[in-house]
Amino acid sequence: MKPMSLSLKAGLVISAVMFAIAALAPVIAPADPYQTHPAEILAAPSGAHWLGTDQLGRDVFSRVVHGARTSLLVAFFVALIGVGLGAVLGASSALAGGWIDTAAMRTVDIFLSIPSLVIALALAAVLGPNLVNLTLILGFLGAPFMARVFRSEALTLAQQNHVRASALLGAGFGFRLTRHILPNLGPLFATLVSTSMSSALMVASALSFIGLGAQPPTAEWGALIYEGRNTIMYEWWCAIPAGLAIALSATGFILVGDGLRDWLDPRSSQA
């Protein structure tokens, strides 16, 4: 196997650090992210509060650290739902072939022709704006595109002799899908989960920023920036750090996604 590129390694390190921060949030955060301190409202960064306090006197550093849990968990599940559903749909469609395949791909075409934001807003309006609904909505909306990608990969697999032989020997649809097709989509799966985590993080935090995701007082990066935007003129420390956290995490996921794609692709050179 060829060596990993420098940017793939950098991406893996960044992503690992961000996940470690999320996992160890209660250990790392010096204060309770929800504890208000009326006496210490909008205090500037200091030894006691590394990133100052917000308009309710909460420790901003602790809120950003705990925000990693919410934001990364949402991004992960959005990516997992979208890529997972897409893998199953795309692989089934390719393996089934015929009119089922045609019908499924036409449906995908239709969904890809509708801007996903309008469906997301319509669903959020009816289901109610909260983080769980947002995660499910964005996950489902990611599936059509993923289904198309997985289908073209699965089509190649389904034509291979061992899969066709398996069918001749009487292996059913489910057996071929779960034993022959899906396991071989693993590398593509890993690449797409990583790439879509970055876009999921961006979209979910944008929608949380406008109030359709995490609700106060939840520590979530998009919501933290929303809470901090009114004090941005003089107390920059409320909104800026959470945005840096988003940018850093997204950069990590992009580097991992791009790097994995090149690393796992036997055709690409090491340029």
Partner 1 sequence: MAGFLLRRLGFMAVVLVCVTLITFLLIELAPGDTARLLAGPQASEAAVAQIREEMGLDAPLAARYAGYLADIVRLDFGTSVVTGRPVLTEIAERAPATFELMILASLIALGIGVPLGVAGAMHRGRAPEAAARAVSIIGASAPGFWVGLLLILLFYRTLDWFPASGRFTGTPPDAITGFLTIDALLRGDWTGFRIAFAHLLLPALSLALLELGVYARLVKNQMLGVLGQDYIRVARAGGLNEGEVLRHHALRNGLAPIVTIVAASLATMLYGSVSVETVFGWPGAGRFVVQSIFKLDLPVVMGFAVLTAAAYVIANALADLVYAGLDPRVRLE
Q: Which residues in this chain contact partner 1 in the complex, by CB under 8 A?
A: 109-110, 113-119, 121-126, 129, 198-199, 202-203, 205-207, 209-212, 222, 225, 229, 232-233, 236, 239-240, 242-243, 246-251, 254-255
* Smallest distance, partner 1 to C-beta of residue 160, A: 29
Rounded to 5 degrees, what angle do the CA atoms 64, 68, 225 make? 45
* Alpha-carbon gap, residue 16 to 233, rounded angstroms: 33
* Smallest distance, partner 1 to C-beta of residue 146, A: 16
Nearer to partner 1, 164 or 229 (CB): 229
Q: 53 has which bridge partners?
A: 59
Nearer to partner 1, 24 or 103 (CB): 103
Nearer to partner 1, 102 or 159 (CB): 102
* Closest of 158, 149, 154, 138 to residue 201, by C-alpha: 138
Q: Are 217 and 226 in contact (CB under 8 A)?
A: no
Nearer to partner 1, 62 or 198 (CB): 198
Compute the 3-state secondary structure of the chain and give helix, strand, coil in percent, each to the nearest 5.
75, 0, 25
* Smallest distance, partner 1 to C-beta of residue 112, A: 9
* Smallest distance, partner 1 to C-beta of residue 157, A: 26
* Closest of 191, 186, 201, 199 to residue 256, by C-alpha: 191
Helix (H, G, I), strand (E, B) or coil at 157: helix
* Smallest distance, partner 1 to C-beta of residue 145, A: 11
Nearer to partner 1, 95 or 205 (CB): 205
Structure tokens at 56: 């309710």
Backbone angles phi, psi at 25, to 5 degrees: -45, -45
* Smallest distance, partner 1 to C-beta of residue 177, A: 28
* Alpha-carbon gap, residue 248 to 67, rounded angstroms: 14
* The residue to which tokens 């909460």 are assigned: 58
* Closest of 255, 262, 269 to residue 16, by C-alpha: 255
Nearer to partner 1, 113 or 161 (CB): 113
